[in-house]
A and B are shown apart, each in its own frame.
Chain A
Amino acid sequence: MGAYILKRLISAVPVLLGITVIVFLIMSMIPGAPATATAILGSYATPENVEKLDRDRGLDKPLVTRYFIWLGNMLTGDFGRSFSLNRPVLDEILDRFNATLVLAGVAFVLCTLLGILAGVVSAARQNGFADKAFTFVVLIGISVPSFFLGMMMILTFAVNLRLLPVSGMDAIYGGGDLPDLPRYLVMPALALAVVATGVIARLSRSAMLEVLRQDYIRTARAKGVDERRVIMGHALRAAMVSIIPVLGIQAGFALSGSVYIEIVFQWPGIGRMLVDAILKRDILLVQGGVVFVAAAYVFFNIAVEVAQSLLDPRIKT
């Protein structure tokens, strides 16, 4: 097992390098570095100053050289300095990433549990009342934009019913207590989880139905195994083989969706930071943030693969 994890980690190296190359290439497409320099220097943007700044930032060097300088700096933990926030990029990212992790993590756990549960119940009671009800809810879930859902939640639960705080994450930032966090987390986490729950529920349902047709399910029944065990033991276990990879993809969706949710709920996460940085053309911050989150996602996917190999003995470890 250890060797397998090591192997996966080593195979992640080229992927991580590829990610940095892609991000770097996309970012180097940005037209008019001077524009950025102008943004940084504001009213001090004389041609001489712009040129000097570009030289200081190494923009006069060839592309490949710039890439390796950037990569080398990142490996030593230097992601550069954000001009708009005037602080090191990495510090900002780490602060913000915690908040995103809490939000996306809770949403991910929610959608996994609810989605698989709904899928299994739907499949086991195919065409029954529960199945139809779930199918309907799932359809709405995957069709409603999460940012719109979030706004409607604020309107209903915070403004009209006054049950929950409108926005923010005050429990951590601004001196609130940790036990307060759940109250702030409920709406954004739910709004974020809805779409992924729908996708996972659909997939679990069809994976279960497919597995239930397999010959080995008939074998289990022929042995006299109880139907409950046939479904929860034999079928669900086999269906997990096709559900787990999708969980990895859905985790990516939870991270992605958190960008909208963070904006709607004023959540101090990395998604909001990225959107602000793009609008301010703070390239180093965008570059650093994207690489950091993508790298985190790569490691999460390795965990998914390891889980898959624990479940399925046919995968060579």
Chain B
Amino acid sequence: MSALDVTELSKTFPVGGGLLHKPGAVRAVRPVSFTVETGETLGIVGESGCGKSTLARMLVGLIEPTTGQIEIEGKPLDNADAAAFGKLIQYVFQDPVSSLNPRKTIRQIIEAPLKYLHGMAGDVRAGRIAEIFASVNLREEFLDRYPHEFCGGQAQRIGIARALAAAPRIMVLDEPVSALDVSVQAQVLNLMADLRGQFNLTYLFISHDLAVVEAVSDRIMVPYFGSVVEIGRAEDLFKTPRHPYTNLLADSAPVVGRALTAPEQRDTELPDPLNPPPGCAFAGRCPRATERCLTAEPKLRPLGDDQLAACHHPLD
């Protein structure tokens, strides 16, 4: 049984509207379906505006989806109840400092899920908190301090500890290390890898950093403009991309020793979300685009081992 099963999940935000205007709609996430196996890490890599954060927030119940269904370990979830999600799926936020209430001690922060999700009594709670804190390698004396006394790396561990306290099956990690320095980010990444084994967790790891995603994921999903354009095994995806956008991403990542040439010379912008193009959203930037791409929206289809791409003219 898979840990997470998402079917046709989508989100449309209404925009504008008023006395003289018709309200418009932005399709932040077009219907997506995917499955994550227990113990697996699914990486989601994309640039700003691709819909990755909206997707993540729907998965944990912070945004109600427009359509679609989320099943965790075979049980469908009530899309409107954040607390029902809380016990099964938790979230680690991008900005570790802003995700901790500045007026609360670390103990109060970690205690909340134990108290409100699991109804744990006071004395049991203290022991559990100590256990959790030890598992994220923080000293117990930190528990009675306030968030502003911690730097990014420590604050992110506290964020992880809070998510762990809910004893979830799945964790959504939304850019968990992009606010951290390089020398610290690996500490947090390695900690998360250890915890996954220890608690038998399933991860969704969201990032804009290709190299980081590749290093932590089993499979990687690439969204562009609200739809998934490619999904495949981490070790293959950037080596043999099928979708031209994945290829562009891989070519754009700076690599020591590679000459500085932009893979794409024109300054190209994302399509207008209020007025999306009819065919493939990437067609305007794509060197392989043809007439067909401008009219027909490509569907995800298998291309090679364990790899799917949504492209009319995939790379070989």
Contacts and interface: CB of A to CB of B under 8 A. Distances in A.
A and B touch in the complex (CB under 8 A): yes
Interface of A: 7, 10-11
B20 interface: yes
Interface string B13-34: 0000001100000000000000
A20 B231 CA distance: 61
Contacts of A11: 19
Nearest to B20: A7
Contacts, number: 5
A128 B19 CA distance: 50
Looking at chain B's contact residues, the main secondary structure is loop
A7 B20 CA distance: 8
Interface bracket on B: under 10
A11 B19 CA distance: 8
Contacts of B20: 7, 10
5 contacts: A7-B19, A7-B20, A10-B19, A10-B20, A11-B19
A7 B19 CA distance: 8
A7 B18 CA distance: 10
Contacts of A10: 19-20
Contacts of B19: 7, 10-11
B109 to A, nearest CB: 31
A11 B21 CA distance: 13
A12 to B, nearest CB: 11
Contacts of A7: 19-20
Interface string B109-139: 0000000000000000000000000000000
A309 to B, nearest CB: 15
Nearest to A14: B19
Nearest to A7: B20
B23 to A, nearest CB: 14
Q: Which 5 A-B pairs have the closest CB atoms?
A: A10-B19, A7-B20, A11-B19, A7-B19, A10-B20
Interface in B19-75: 19-20
A10 B20 CA distance: 9
Nearest to A3: B20
Nearest to A10: B19
A244 to B, nearest CB: 22
B301 to A, nearest CB: 41
A9 to B, nearest CB: 11
Nearest to A13: B19
A211 B102 CA distance: 26
A213 B19 CA distance: 38
A11 B18 CA distance: 10
A266 to B, nearest CB: 45
Nearest to A6: B20
B190 to A, nearest CB: 35
Nearest to B21: A7
A227 to B, nearest CB: 34
A10 B21 CA distance: 13
A272 B4 CA distance: 72
Nearest to B16: A316
B21 to A, nearest CB: 9
A147 to B, nearest CB: 42
A11 B20 CA distance: 10
A36 to B, nearest CB: 39
A259 B19 CA distance: 36
A252 B6 CA distance: 55
B316 to A, nearest CB: 47
A302 to B, nearest CB: 14
A163 to B, nearest CB: 54
B204 to A, nearest CB: 34
A131 to B, nearest CB: 31
A17 to B, nearest CB: 14
A109 B81 CA distance: 55
A48 B19 CA distance: 50
A63 B20 CA distance: 33
A226 to B, nearest CB: 33
